């Protein structure tokens, strides 16, 4: 079979964001667009001749076409073996695990995560390295730089690849191996959690749970693990069929996009426990009766009780959170006397800490939590952790959360998103805010500003420095406001404002986070030029 070089011209816009390159499907469908970017990855990934790559995606529209192109390029670049989830499906955490277990040189993860799908929706690609973790900032910059000079890519004429029939087949120089996307992942989960204990809880019939897969990648994983292996009644998993357009919704497990699950948990006949995951299965939302657990609280509670879980019975080496994530975990780390790291937004910043044994658990405010079992965040892992914790303690979610607040105080957390249609205007507003940092302490905002800075991170392992990772403002009552621009959108700009307020003592802590942080939200807005420049007096999204 012939391998040849295809002449192309570079696209100037292939700079990855917070987690890979995300663009409209129509952008990816342009001739050469995907092939150019894949070749840039393959050029930067080291010597791939004779090596394996893992490939799979969240099943969104264009997944299969993209996989075919990826197989042709892999063959053209001397890759020996492509390991693909059946039907082209692999959740992000499952792909990360598979890379490690199969000692692959890396993985091509076809996903735009929580972004909408379908012909008018988004598509995306992430490259994960041999560790299973996302490409570092340095490698990402190299890939972008290479893409800007791309003049050729290499393909082999391998014909149409069968992505559905399990087993190995040879396509010219390339072996394609179609694997069960769930099996390997499920085995890892069995090793971490007490499946007998969880099974006993789920089989009683007294404890009821609902898992909403939002028609995305986690459906098959949740059905196999929760219903087939753990014995939860059929129907526990809802919206479990992956669809190319996720049924028209945003596959984002948050109270806005998964509003029907929140409503179900607040109504008569609610289950005892509910959860949801996102497009590619790496996010999680945890709910008790009438309560959505704030992701920062979830991380803190899992850490505080970790030794009750078999996989973490020996305790935690350390923990980490992304900078905007609430500081609830810091209090737990202090009490456990273990290190707590604060990293920029994006899972790739946890990789080195996990790889070198500095941390065991980590999380982000955007409904992402995971541990050293993988190099990605892991939605179903968090759900199983919460299930096992409930089985071990005999306490439900509400009791665990309220108990935690009573013990440590509550870090009330809320995110206000301001969508600015004109991306340049968004960047200008953020730049003006950064420039105002030195003078913020002199502003009159109702509460005294005790400090403000632009977050910069030095990786303790490789000493790389990442600047301009968001603006932090500290207030005299211990509250904190954080600002940053989203790096996952495909249109306009989204300014994210993260609000955190500390409540301790005997006051009523049970009011909603949105209401408790409302006044802080006004202060946060008024420290920016959102109103003057964009006419935005209220957030376009409150999460």
What does the block give as tokens for 198?
């969880």
- Closest by Cα among 309, 274, 293 to 198: 309
Which of 68-76, 109-117, 219-227, 394-402 is the region at the interface with Co ion (rule: CB under 5 A)?
Answer: 109-117
Min. distance of Cβ 377 from Co ion in angstroms? 7
496-535: contacts with ligand VG1 (CB under 6 A): 496
The residues with which 24 forms a beta bridge, in sequence order, are 122
- The partner in contact with residue 369, picked from ligand VG1, Co ion, none with C-beta cut-offs of 5 to 8 angstroms by kind, is none
Residue 282 engages ligand VG1 in binding (rule: CB under 6 A): yes
Stated as kind and residue range, the H or E segment containing 66 is: helix 63-76
Q: For the window 408-447, what string marks contact with Co ion as x by the rule CB under 5 A? A: ----------------------------------------
The least CB distance from residue 326 to ligand VG1, in Å, is 13
* Nearer of residues 137 and 282 to ligand VG1, judged by Cβ: 282
Task: State residue 25 phi and psi, 5-degree precision.
Answer: -55, -40
Q: Single out the catalytic residue among 113, 298, 322, 366.
A: 113
The minimum distance between CB 449 and Co ion, in angstroms, equals 34
**Residue bearing tokens 């893992």:** 54
Nearest to 39, CA basis, from 61, 65, 72, 2: 72
Q: How far apart are CA 287 and CA 72, in angstroms?
A: 43
Does 416 engage in binding with ligand VG1 (CB under 6 A)?
no
Task: Cite the DSSP H helix spans in 148-235.
Answer: 183-192, 195-203, 218-222
**Residue 510 Cβ vs ligand VG1, minimum distance, rounded to whole Å:** 27
- On the 0-12 / 13-18 / 19+ scale of CB atoms within 10 A, 200 is middle
Of 284, 226, 229, 234, nearest to 258 by C-alpha is 284
CA atoms in the 13 A half-sphere facing the CB of 509? 20
- HEC string for 18-29: CCEEEEEHHHHC
Closer CB to ligand VG1, 58 or 227, in the complex:
58
The only residue of 113, 224, 294, 298 in contact with Co ion, by rule CB under 5 A: 113
Which helix (H) or strand (E) segment holds residue 451: the answer is strand 449-454
* Region binding Co ion by CB under 5 A among candidate stretches 101-109, 279-287, 347-355, 517-525: 279-287
- List the interface residues with ligand VG1, window 477-496 (CB under 6 A): 486-488, 496
Q: CB under 6 A: which stretch of 72-80, 81-89, 276-284, 385-393 binds ligand VG1?
A: 276-284
486 binds, among ligand VG1, Co ion, none (CB under 5 to 8 A by kind): ligand VG1
464 given a catalytic annotation: no
Residue 250, interface with ligand VG1 (CB under 6 A)?
A: no
Q: Which does 36 bind (CB under 5 to 8 A by kind): Co ion, ligand VG1, none?
A: none
Burial of 170 (0-12, 13-18, 19+ CB in 10 A): exposed
| Selected binder of Co ion within 280, 365, 376, 459 (CB under 5 A) | 280
257 near Co ion, rule: CB under 5 A = no
* Site for Co ion contains 218 (CB under 5 A): no
Site for ligand VG1 in 314-373 (CB under 6 A): 322, 345-347, 364, 366, 368
Q: What share of the chain is helix, strand, coil (3-state, %, to 5)?
A: 35, 25, 40
Dihedral of the alpha carbons of 251, 257, 261, 266, in degrees to the nearest 10: 160
Question: Do 104 and 132 touch, CB atoms closer than 8 A?
Answer: no
Q: Which residues bind Co ion (CB under 5 A)?
A: 113, 278, 280, 282
Q: Which residues bind ligand VG1 (CB under 6 A)?
A: 18-19, 113-114, 278, 282-283, 322, 345-347, 364, 366, 368, 486-488, 496
Residues taking part in catalysis: 113
């Amino acid at each position: 079979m012939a391998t040849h070089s295809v002449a192309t011209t570079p696209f100037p816009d292939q700079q990855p964001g917070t987690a890979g390159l995300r663009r409209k499907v129509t952008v990816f469908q342009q001739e050469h667009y995907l092939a150019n970017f894949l070749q840039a990855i393959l050029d930067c990934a080291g010597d791939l001749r004779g090596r394996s790559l893992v490939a799979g995606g969240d099943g969104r529209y264009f997944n299969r076409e993209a996989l075919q192109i990826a197989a042709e390029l892999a063959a053209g670049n001397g890759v020996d073996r492509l390991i693909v989830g059946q039907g082209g499906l692999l959740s992000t955490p499952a792909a990360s695990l598979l890379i490690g277990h199969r000692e692959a040189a890396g993985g091509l993860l076809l996903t735009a995560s929580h972004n909408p799908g379908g012909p008018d929706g988004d598509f995306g690609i992430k490259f994960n390295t041999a560790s299973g973790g996302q490409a570092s900032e340095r490698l990402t910059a190299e890939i972008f730089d290479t893409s800007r000079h791309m003049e050729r890519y290499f393909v082999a004429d391998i014909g149409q690849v069968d992505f559905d029939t399990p087993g190995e087949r040879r396509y010219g120089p390339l072996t394609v191996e179609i694997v069960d996307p769930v099996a390997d992942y499920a085995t890892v989960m069995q090793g971490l959690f007490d499946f007998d204990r969880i099974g006993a809880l789920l089989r009683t019939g007294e404890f009821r749970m609902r898992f909403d897969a939002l028609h995305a990648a986690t459906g098959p994983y949740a059905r196999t693990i929760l219903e087939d292996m753990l014995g939860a009644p059929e129907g526990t998993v809802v919206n479990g069929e992956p669809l190319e357009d996720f049924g028209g919704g945003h596959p984002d497990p948050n109270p806005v996009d998964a509003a029907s699950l929140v409503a179900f948990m607040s109504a008569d006949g609610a289950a005892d426990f509910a959860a949801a995951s996102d497009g590619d299965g790496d996010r999680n939302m945890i709910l008790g009766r009438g309560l959505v657990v704030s992701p920062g609280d979830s991380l803190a509670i899992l850490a505080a009780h970790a030794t009750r879980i078999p996989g973490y019975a020996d305790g935690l080496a350390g923990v980490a959170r992304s900078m905007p994530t609430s500081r609830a975990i810091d209090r737990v780390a202090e009490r456990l006397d273990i290190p707590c790291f604060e990293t920029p937004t994006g899972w790739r910043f946890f990789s080195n800490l996990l790889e070198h044994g500095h941390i065991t658990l980590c999380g982000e405010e955007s409904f992402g939590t995971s541990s050293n079992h993988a190099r990605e965040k892991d939605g179903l892992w968090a759900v199983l952790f919460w299930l096992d914790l409930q089985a071990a303690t005999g306490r439900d979610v509400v009791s665990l959360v309220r108990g935690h607040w009573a013990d440590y105080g509550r870090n009330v957390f809320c995110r206000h998103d301001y969508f600015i249609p004109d991306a340049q205007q968004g960047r200008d507003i953020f730049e003006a805010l950064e420039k105002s940092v030195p003078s913020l302490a002199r502003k009159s905002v109702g509460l005294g500003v005790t400090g403000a800075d632009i977050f910069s991170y030095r990786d303790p392992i490789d000493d790389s420095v990442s600047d301009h990772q968001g603006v932090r403002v500290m207030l005299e009552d211990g509250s904190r406001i954080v600002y940053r621009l989203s790096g996952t959108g495909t249109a306009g700009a989204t300014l994210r404002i993260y609000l955190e307020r500390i409540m301790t003592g005997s006051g009523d802590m049970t009011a909603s986070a949105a209401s408790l942080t409302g006044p802080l939200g006004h202060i946060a807005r008024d420290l920016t030029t959102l109103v003057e420049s964009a006419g935005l007096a209220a957030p376009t999204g409150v999460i």
